[in-house]
């Protein structure tokens, strides 16, 4: 049994990881999350009563609070997911991304380093800092046959990806300079249950059910590799239990799709799974699709080469795009109380046309 400290554990990917650790392992989990607009404890409702689960409402920019968490809970492994992640928000207000993704990562690294330095014996030898990052740090791919590898040079395009790239560099510097044992993973676009409503897939599902327009940037031909979030959680656990300190592992779903294909897939699934919820007078959910002005600096294509994690650690995704999307749409249909509470109480849904 180990004690895992998960930053951002009330977020989308973080909560999937926490649910996996509590439900599928015997480890103890300490969640550190400041519960910003995207942090949601209801995503952890199924595990909060478990005696192996603990929660600390802490901002990773608060060094004193972090030191207290490390001292009190004595983690064996830190898995760092706390981050501002939405590209559109980073364009509108980059300062929050700089504070959380860069300054917050620095504060967490320093807290972890000083805690690790005080450890002895096997506890010091086996300690690990796992930094979870994104494929967006690599920029985009012009060659339709190319893929991001662990050695692809960084070329971030947005304030979000630039701050994540910065945090990646900090983590590797703390390994090189101070010897802090770290691993970095870079993942492709995640989707699945508990996905925050402003992201493409949940936004499309929720807007369609409300009879709202389904916005698609530019020509909709931007390509992303889609990774089911529960596959990602399993990959992250594989990395911390089998991975090699100092290494980087790319995690992808092997599911490249154009954005317009993603939206059309959702519409087709809704036609099948929720025809009775289609608003009167609407012939087909696809009729709601509207092309809108592309966002500044929009990357055209991301694609992950995940052969290293498969070859060295034995991980491959279990879900195809078709099976994962069916599970995702079904979950949002069956759990309207979860996302409706966010729209009504915790989020400015008016900005995205999600509230009447």
Please give the positions annotated as active site: 135-136, 160
**Residue 63 to residue 85: CA distance in whole angstroms:** 22
- DSSP string for residues in 305-353: --HHHHHHH----S--HHHHHHHHHHHHHH-HHHHHHIIIIIS-GGGGT
Write down the H helix ranges in the chain.
12-24, 63-73, 87-92, 95-97, 105-118, 121-126, 159-178, 200-209, 229-242, 259-273, 307-313, 321-334, 336-341
Dihedral of alpha carbons 130, 87, 298, 268, sign:
positive
**Residue 295 to residue 41: CA distance in whole angstroms:** 31
Phi-psi region of 119 (alpha: psi -120 to 50; beta: other; left: phi over 0): beta
**Residue 104 to residue 83: CA distance in whole angstroms:** 8
The tokens for 130 are 């796992």
Dihedral of alpha carbons 163, 139, 40, 348, sign:
positive
């Amino acid at each position: 049994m180990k004690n895992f400290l998960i930053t951002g554990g009330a977020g989308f990917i973080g909560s999937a990881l926490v649910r996996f650790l509590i439900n599928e392992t015997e480890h103890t989990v300490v969640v550190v999350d400041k519960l910003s607009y995207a942090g949601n404890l209801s995503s952890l409702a199924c595990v909060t009563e478990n005696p192996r689960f603990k929660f600390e409402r802490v901002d990773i920019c608060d060094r004193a609070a972090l030191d207290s968490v490390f001292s009190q809970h004595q983690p064996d492994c830190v898995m760092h997911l706390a981050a501002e992640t939405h590209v559109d928000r980073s364009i509108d207000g980059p300062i929050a991304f700089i504070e959380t993704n860069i300054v917050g990562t620095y504060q967490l690294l320093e807290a972890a380093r000083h805690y690790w330095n005080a450890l002895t014996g096997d506890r010091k030898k086996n300690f690990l800092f796992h930094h979870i990052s994104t494929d967006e740090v690599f920029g985009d791919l012009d060659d339709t046959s190319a893929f991001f590898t662990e050695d692809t040079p960084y070329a971030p395009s947005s304030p979000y990806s630039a701050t994540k790239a910065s945090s990646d560099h900090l983590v590797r510097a703390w390994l090189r300079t101070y010897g802090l044992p770290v691993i970095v993973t870079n993942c492709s676009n995640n989707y699945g249950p508990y996905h925050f409503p402003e992201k493409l897939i949940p936004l499309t599902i929720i807007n369609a059910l409300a009879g709202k327009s389904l916005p698609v940037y530019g020509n909709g031909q931007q390509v992303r590799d889609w990774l089911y979030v529960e596959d990602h959680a399993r990959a992250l656990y594989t990395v911390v239990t089998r991975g090699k300190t100092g290494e980087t592992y790319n995690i992808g779903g092997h599911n490249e799709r154009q954005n317009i294909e993603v939206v059309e897939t959702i519409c087709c699934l809704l036609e099948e799974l929720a025809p009775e919820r289609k608003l009167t007078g609407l012939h087909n959910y696809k009729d709601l699709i509207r092309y809108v002005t592309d966002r500044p600096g929009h990357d055209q294509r991301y694609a992950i080469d995940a052969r290293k994690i498969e070859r060295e650690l034995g991980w491959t995704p279990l879900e195809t795009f078709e099976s994962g999307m069916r599970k995702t749409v079904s979950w949002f249909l069956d759990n309207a109380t979860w996302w409706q509470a966010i729209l009504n109480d915790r989020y400015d849904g008016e900005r995205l046309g999600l509230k009447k």
